[in-house]
Amino acid sequence: MQLSTRKTMDRAFSGLGVMAILLMAGALAVLLGPMFVRGSRAFLFRGTVEHRRVMLELFGRGDRDEIRAELALAAEARRPLYEAIAQFEKELGEMDRGERREYGGRLDELKAALRALLGPFPGEPQPALPRAQYGQTRWDRARVKLREVLYATTYDYSDPAQMGVEVLVPRVEQFRGTSLEPIFAHIEGNAREMLRPRLTFYGRFLTDDSRDSHFFGGIGPAVLGTLYLTIGAMLVAGPMGILSAVYLTEYAGGGWWISAIRACINTLAGVPSIVFGLFGCAFFINILQVSPSRSVLAGSLTLACLVLPTVIRASEEALRAVPATYKEAALSLGATKWRTTFTVVLPACLPGVLTSIILSMGRAAGETAPIIFTAAVSLGAVPTLRQVFTHPTPALPWSIYNLATEHAAVDEIRHVQYGMVLTLIGVVLLLNAAAVVLRARVTRKLRG
Contacts to other proteins from residues 319-378, by CB under 8 A? 323, 325-326, 328-339, 343-344, 347-348, 362, 365-369, 372-373
Where in 415-444 is the site for other proteins (CB under 8 A)?
Answer: 417, 421, 424-425, 428-429, 432, 436
**Cα separations in angstroms, 404 against 55, 98, 137, 273, 412:** 25, 43, 20, 20, 11
The site that binds other proteins (CB under 8 A) totals a number of residues, namely: 108
Where in 235-264 is the site for other proteins (CB under 8 A)?
Answer: 240-241, 243-244, 246-248, 251-253, 260-261, 264
Closest to 416 (Cα-Cα) out of 211, 226, 229, 130: 211
E-strand ranges in 301-437 read none
The Cα 98–Cα 17 span in angstroms is: 73
- The least distance separating other proteins from the CB of residue 345, rounded to whole angstroms, comes to 10
Is residue 245 within 8 Å of 315, Cβ to Cβ? yes
- The least distance separating other proteins from the CB of residue 13, rounded to whole angstroms, comes to 4
The Cα 339–Cα 345 span in angstroms is: 9
The binding track of 24-53 with respect to other proteins, each residue x by CB under 8 A or -, is xx-xx--xx-xx------------------
Q: Which of 281, 296, 346, 357 binds other proteins (CB under 8 A)?
A: 281
Given the complex with other proteins, which of 54 and 358 has the nearer CB atom? 358
Residue 162 interacts with other proteins (CB under 8 A): yes or no: no
The Cα 256–Cα 167 span in angstroms is: 74
The Cα 276–Cα 305 span in angstroms is: 8
Given the complex with other proteins, which of 22 and 112 has the nearer CB atom? 22
- The least distance separating other proteins from the CB of residue 101, rounded to whole angstroms, comes to 38
Q: What is the DSSP letter of 284?
A: I
Is residue 232 within 8 Å of 297, Cβ to Cβ? yes
Given the complex with other proteins, which of 108 and 328 has the nearer CB atom? 328
Given the complex with other proteins, which of 17 and 60 has the nearer CB atom? 17
Alpha carbon 123 to its chain's center: 38
Q: Find the part of the chain contacting other proteins (CB under 8 A) among 181-189, 192-200, 205-213, 276-284.
A: 276-284
Where in 88-147 is the site for other proteins (CB under 8 A)?
Answer: none
Render the burial of 122-161: b for 16+ CB within 10 Å, e for the rest: eeeeeeeebbebbbbbbbebbeebbebbbbbeeeeeeeee
- The least distance separating other proteins from the CB of residue 94, rounded to whole angstroms, comes to 47
Q: Which of 69, 185, 275, 437 binds other proteins (CB under 8 A)?
A: 275
In three-state secondary structure terms, 138 is strand
Given the complex with other proteins, which of 144 and 278 has the nearer CB atom? 278
Q: Which of 224, 400, 416, 438 binds other proteins (CB under 8 A)?
A: 400
